[in-house]
Amino acid sequence: MPLLYVYFAIIFPRNYPKWAILLWCFFLGLGVDMFSNTPGMAAAALTLTGAVQPYLLELFVPRDATDNIKSSAASLGTSKFLTMATILVVLYCLTYFSLEAFTFFNWLQWLMNIGGSAVVTILLIMTIETIRK
């Protein structure tokens, strides 16, 4: 299942306020929850992703970069953006599917959900980044 709305949490610029990122991610997750009948799971997972994104972006942005640099493959480089996006997408999928399953009884299905959704989402994000250049 592609979870493309995670891309919204990935592309926030460097100087964007952290509280605003959390609010945007929470309300986007809440909107996804309302339309997909998943009570609070997407909101919680996307809020966690939004909380981690600014700190992860600081690791990948060059020190001499401007304060308003955007998180994209064009500004960070394809390999750095791919690494950052992969970490955030896997974090989101891990949180989302752990909350959905709420048990590790069927751990193989849990791992397949995380892996499959992460791979499809990363492929779609990189396709969008390629078109966006």
Residue-level pLDDT at 52:
94
**Domain residue extents for the chain:** 6-132
R_g of the chain, CA atoms, integer Å: 15
Mean pLDDT of 113-117: 92
Q: Give the DSSP H or E segment for 73.
A: helix 73-76
The distance in angstroms from the start CA to the end CA of the chain is 26
Q: Is the pLDDT of residue 73 over 90?
A: no
Q: Is the pLDDT of residue 87 over 90?
A: yes
What is this structure's pTM?
0.89
Q: Taking the alpha carbons of 2, 89, 19, 63 in that order, is the dihedral positive or negative? A: negative
Mean pLDDT of 106-115: 88
Write phi, then psi, for 5 (nearest 5 degrees): -65, -10
pLDDT tens-digit map of 10-68: 988 888 899 999 999 999 999 999 999 888 899 999 999 999 999 998 888 877 777 77
